[in-house]
A = this chain, B = another copy of it.
Amino acid sequence: MHISERTKNIPTSPIRKLAPIANKAEKEGRKIYHLNIGQPDIETPDSFFKATREFRPKVLEYGKSQGREELLEAVQKYYKEWGMDYSLDNIYVTNGGSEAISFAVMTTCDPGDNVLMFEPFYANYKSFVGAYNIRINGVPTSPDDGYHLPPEEEIEKYIDSRTRALLISNPGNPTGVIYTEEEMKLISRIVRKYDLALIADEVYREFVYDGKFKSFGSMPELDDNLIIIDSVSKRYSACGARVGCVISKNAAMDEQLLKCCQARLSVSQMDQAGAAGLYTTPKVYWETVRKEYARRRDAIRTALAAMPDVVFSQPKGAFYVMVKFPVDDIEKFAKWLLTDFSIDNETVMITPGNGFYVSSPELGKDEARLAYVLNCDALKRAMYILGEGLKQYPGRTR
């Protein structure tokens, strides 16, 4: 039977690509510190489980396609507290942030259209657009200036007649960058000048370690162009609930989003009840979590700074840092760490950086994304092992 070119062209997730090798090592008894995946070790608030225990209908029926009312209202209230006003008709519950992104790109782009993204970007964006035959125009940013944006006229060079949207994550995955107010204004000018959709993936909004986060949703001039991607996955350490949402004030967009929702009928009812429960979690939860991540951020930064010939982004938000290593080939290095190296039968898993780039296979070949999702002791140990691994790796270039 025929296999579509579309699917064949979708790359294997770089975050999960090495999983079989890691699984094998773990089955053989090796302990692996997972710096490869954004899976927090933070406890999920009991409010989720309390709400799901209480959700006991006689018949587990389809829900409303748009989402359960209690959850839509909880999201609305959450945004109000951030100073953003959305009507319930602006909010559409999705199967995680993943489906929110899928809906955003499929409603704005036809096959052959393209989306502007700043490289490096979250690797799964490739799958979401690839599924719909949408291309990516990758705008390079560099570790040397902390992955911040190039000048406006430089960005404009990547816009053509088929560019329909700009997809950006802020706080940035995989770089940990937080865009400055100036950069946000620049983006706002560009999307309005070319009437692009601005797809703002702000799922790491709560994870900002120096100063306060500013959402694209707080810029009223963007109301017509903005599509916000959101999720409870990281906000409440509930990745396995698969509850996100997509938000837009553009009425024509809302009409399409509702159709997208109706096509797949509804999102899990119980998880939506649980997610609504999560939104009742006292705000002190985030304070505690943020402090914990700030400590981890400091720990990983200190460890990286002590490694010779290593260049890395200053992680300001989310829980990732993009690192340039003095190695021949990051995939080889990542595999070698899993198969050929260990200290006391312990090793580390990192995500090769090339998967986060699209414009050239050479890009990211010596970079990796590290997720600081482990407690400080585990993280320090992991970074020690990584540092020793780097010293001994035969493909070291310096």
Cβ of A110 within 8 Å of any chain B Cβ, yes or no, is yes
What residues of chain B lie closer than 8 Å to A40, measured between beta carbons? 59
Cα distance, A73 to B52, chains bound together (Å)? 25
- Asked if B65 contacts A56 (CB within 8 A), the reply is no
Cβ of A197 within 8 Å of any chain B Cβ, yes or no, is yes
Nearest B residue to A267, CB-CB: B242
- Asked if B39 contacts A61 (CB within 8 A), the reply is yes
- Asked if B108 contacts A2 (CB within 8 A), the reply is yes
Nearest B residue to A111, CB-CB: B111
Partner among B56, B60, B260 whose Cβ is within 8 Å of the Cβ of A238: B60
What residues of chain B lie closer than 8 Å to A108, measured between beta carbons? 1-4
Cβ of A175 within 8 Å of any chain B Cβ, yes or no, is no
Partner among B52, B53, B59, B109 whose Cβ is within 8 Å of the Cβ of A237: B59
Partner among B48, B53, B265 whose Cβ is within 8 Å of the Cβ of A96: B265
- Asked if B240 contacts A60 (CB within 8 A), the reply is yes
Nearest B residue to A162, CB-CB: B2
Cα distance, A267 to B264, chains bound together (Å)? 14
Q: A131-B106, A263-B128 are in contact. Are A3 and B60 (CB under 8 A)?
A: no
- Asked if A42 contacts B59 (CB within 8 A), the reply is yes
Cα distance, A39 to B57, chains bound together (Å)? 14
- Asked if B262 contacts A13 (CB within 8 A), the reply is yes
What residues of chain B lie closer than 8 Å to A41, measured between beta carbons? 59
Would you give the shortest CB distance from A194 to chain B, in whole angstroms? 10
Partner among B98, B109, B250, B265 whose Cβ is within 8 Å of the Cβ of A264: B98
What residues of chain B lie closer than 8 Å to A48, measured between beta carbons? 60
Nearest B residue to A5, CB-CB: B110
Cβ of A7 within 8 Å of any chain B Cβ, yes or no, is yes
- From A81-89, A150-158, A269-277, A300-308, the one touching the partner chain is A269-277
Would you give the shortest CB distance from A230 to chain B, in whole angstroms? 16
- Asked if A252 contacts B62 (CB within 8 A), the reply is no
Cβ of A189 within 8 Å of any chain B Cβ, yes or no, is no
What residues of chain B lie closer than 8 Å to A3, measured between beta carbons? 107-108, 252-253, 256
Nearest B residue to A109, CB-CB: B4
Q: A98-B263, A265-B98 are in contact. Are A106 and B238 (CB under 8 A)?
A: no
- In the assembled complex, 9 residue pairs joining A and B whose CB atoms fall closer than 8 Å, in A order, are A1-B165, A1-B225, A4-B107, A4-B164, A6-B111, A6-B132, A39-B59, A111-B111, A242-B267
* 9 closest residue pairs by CB, A with B: A127-B263, A240-B269, A98-B264, A60-B240, A44-B60, A1-B197, A62-B239, A7-B256, A7-B107
